[in-house]
C-alpha cells in the first residue's frame, strides 16, 4: 500500500512539473530567447570576422606581422632554443611559453565593436517602438540617485519629482 502511495506522489509531482514547463513554453519567452541567441551568435560571428579579417590585418602589417593574431612574446623557449617562431602554434608545439598580446588586443577590439554595434542596433529599433529600450537616466534633485527620466517619484528617497509635496 505504501509503495502505491509513493508512486501517486511521484506522478503528481511529475505532472505538476510538466504543467509548469508547458506554461513556461506557452508564455512565448522561450521562442524569443531562442531567436535572440541564434541572432546574437550570428551577429557575433559577423563582428569577429569584421575585426579579424578587415580591421586588424592593416594594423598587423604596420607592426611588422601579416596576421595580427600572431603578435606574441616568447617568455620561455621550447625544446629548440635557437628556433624563431612565426606563429603562436609553432611556438606552442615546440613547448615554448608565449604571451599572446595580439589575440588579447583582438578580443578587446571584438568586444568594443560588438558593444558599439549592439548599442546602435538598439537605438535603431527604438525608432519603431513606443517605449524606449535604453532608458535615459537623470539624478533625483533631492538624493542625487540615478532614476528614470520619466519617473514622478524617486525610488530611493520617495520624493515626489513633480512638486506634489516638498521634503521637510
User: Using one digit for the tens of pLDDT, what is the confidence trace for 123-155?
Assistant: 887 787 766 656 678 889 889 998 888 888 999
Q: Are residues 87 and 107 in the same domain?
A: yes
Q: Are 18 and 67 found together in one domain?
A: yes
89 and 21 within one domain: yes
Q: Is the pLDDT of residue 30 over 80?
A: no
95-126 pLDDT, tens digit per residue, is: 999 999 988 888 888 888 888 888 888 788 77
Helices (H) and strands (E) in the chain, counts: 5, 4
Is residue 155, in this structure, part of any structural domain at all?
yes
Looking at the fold, whether 44 and 111 belong to one and the same domain comes out as: yes
Same domain, 139 and 80: no
Q: Per-residue pLDDT for 165 more than 80?
A: no
DSSP sequence for 36-66: HHHHHHHHHHHHHHIIIIIIHHHHHHHTT-S
Q: How many whole angstroms from its chain centre is CA 45?
A: 13
Position 22 pLDDT exceeds 70:
yes
150 lies in which domain range? 134-167
161 and 100 assigned to the same domain: no
- Whether residues 113 and 156 fall in one domain: no
Q: Are residues 29 and 112 in the same domain?
A: yes
Residues 18 and 89 in one domain: yes
Model confidence band, residue 81 (pLDDT cutoffs 50, 70, 90): confident
Domain contains 31? yes
Pair (43, 54) in one structural domain: yes
Residue 64, domain member (yes or no)? yes
Same domain, 56 and 110: yes
Strand partners, 147: 138
Residues 116 and 149 in one domain: no
Task: Assess if residue 32 is contained within a domain.
Answer: yes
Residue 6 lies in a domain: no
Q: What is the pLDDT of residues 37-64, one digit of tens each?
A: 898 888 888 888 887 788 777 877 777 7
Decide if 2 is inside a domain. Answer: no
In this structure, how many other beta carbons lie within 10 angstroms of the beta carbon of residue 127?
6
Burial call 66-88: b when 16+ CB within 10 Å, e when fewer: ebbbbbbebeeebeeeeeebeeb
Number of domains in the chain: 2
Written as one string, the DSSP assignment of 20-32 is HHHHHHHTSHHHH
CATH code, domain carrying 25: 1.10.1200.120
Amino acid at each position: 500500500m505504501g509503495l502505491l502511495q509513493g508512486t501517486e506522489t511521484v506522478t503528481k509531482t511529475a505532472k505538476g512539473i510538466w504543467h509548469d514547463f508547458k506554461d513556461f513554453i506557452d508564455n512565448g519567452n522561450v521562442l524569443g530567447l531562442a531567436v535572440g541567441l541564434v541572432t546574437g551568435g550570428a551577429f557575433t560571428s559577423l563582428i569577429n570576422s569584421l575585426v579579424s579579417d578587415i580591421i586588424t590585418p592593416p594594423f598587423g602589417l604596420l607592426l611588422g606581422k601579416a596576421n595580427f593574431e600572431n603578435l606574441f612574446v616568447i617568455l620561455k623557449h621550447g625544446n629548440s632554443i635557437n628556433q624563431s617562431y612565426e606563429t603562436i602554434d609553432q611556438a606552442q608545439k615546440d613547448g615554448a611559453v608565449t604571451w599572446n598580446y595580439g589575440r588579447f588586443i583582438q578580443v578587446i577590439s571584438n568586444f568594443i565593436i560588438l558593444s558599439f554595434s549592439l548599442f546602435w542596433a538598439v537605438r535603431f529599433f527604438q525608432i519603431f517602438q513606443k517605449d524606449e529600450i535604453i532608458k535615459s537616466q537623470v539624478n533625483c534633485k533631492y538624493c542625487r540617485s540615478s532614476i528614470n527620466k520619466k519617473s514622478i517619484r524617486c525610488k530611493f528617497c520617495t520624493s515626489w519629482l513633480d512638486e506634489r509635496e516638498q521634503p521637510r
